Amino acid sequence: MNPALVETICHLIRQELAPYPAGLSEYALIKALRKHHLDLPLSPELSLFRSHFLLFHCLYHLREQLLSERSGLLDIHTLCICFTPWQPGHEGLAKSDPLQAYYMDWQQFASTDQQEVHALLDSFWKRYHLTDSGHLQAALCALELPPEAMVDGSNHQLIRRQYQRLAMQHHPDRGGDECRFKEIQSAWDYLRPFLGTQRD
């Protein structure tokens, strides 16, 4: 991997995260980085995997850089990538991340082919017994979430919070667009059964 490209992407990540203290989703961050003419395709499957891997490689590189400089912390998750300014005592709070070794190993990028990516996605669909992936992708898109958002069970609370944030932002009583609000509500109603979430 070209170290200069990694440094460039890390600089752009910091620039794009700066205006968002609550963080950005992976999908939103990739879209923001694409505006800088970075080649980060969102389809087809193998290209999406490579965009995801490159981003997370750079995120973990940046997190180590921030820790060594004691200039900040980076919380890395597909649904929320968040920069936190450094405060004394943070060195003891930095959590180990078992995924870091995977994303820092560039061989994983080079060796993962279309067949392996397809197998990963196929196991995901079987796990959730979803027969209509088009509706699922549309629902995730309506909530501004990446396609892999439901792979990890730990994402469920973050998906719920994303729905609540968007619903509040676009609620007609708050001056939001009624059509967008209905789209968000419909997406949540579709996703709820897969999350094991009870109706409030």
- The 3-state secondary structure of 32-72 reads HHHCCCCCCCCCCHHHHHHHHHHHHHHHHHHHHHHHHHCCE
Given this model, what pLDDT does residue 150 score?
A: 66
Question: Positive or negative, the Cα torsion across 191, 194, 197, 200?
Answer: positive
Model confidence, pTM: 0.61
Chain Cα centroid distance, residue 160: 14
User: Does 132 have pLDDT greater than 70?
Assistant: no
Instruction: Tell me the two tokens of residue 144.
Output: 């501004």
Note the pLDDT tens digit of each residue in 29-79: 988 999 999 888 876 778 888 888 899 999 999 999 998 888 888 888 777
Average pLDDT of the segment spanning 179-195: 81
* Greatest mean pLDDT among 26-40, 129-143, 149-163: 26-40
Q: State how far the Cα of 94 lies from the Cα of 82, in Å rounded to an integer.
A: 14
Mean pLDDT of 20-27: 84
SS3 25: coil
pLDDT per position as a tens digit, 82-109: 888 887 765 555 556 677 888 888 888 8
Report the distance separating Cα 75 and Cα 148, nearest Å.
18
The rounded percent of the chain whose pLDDT value lies above 70 is 76
- Indicate the DSSP class of residue 90: G
Question: Quick check: helix, strand or coil at residue 166?
Answer: helix
Rounded to the nearest 5°, which phi and psi values hold at 128?
Answer: -95, 0
- φ and ψ at residue 151, rounded to 5 degrees: -70, -45
Phi, psi of 31 (to 5 degrees): -60, -40
Q: How many CA atoms lie within 13 A of 189 on its CB side?
A: 6
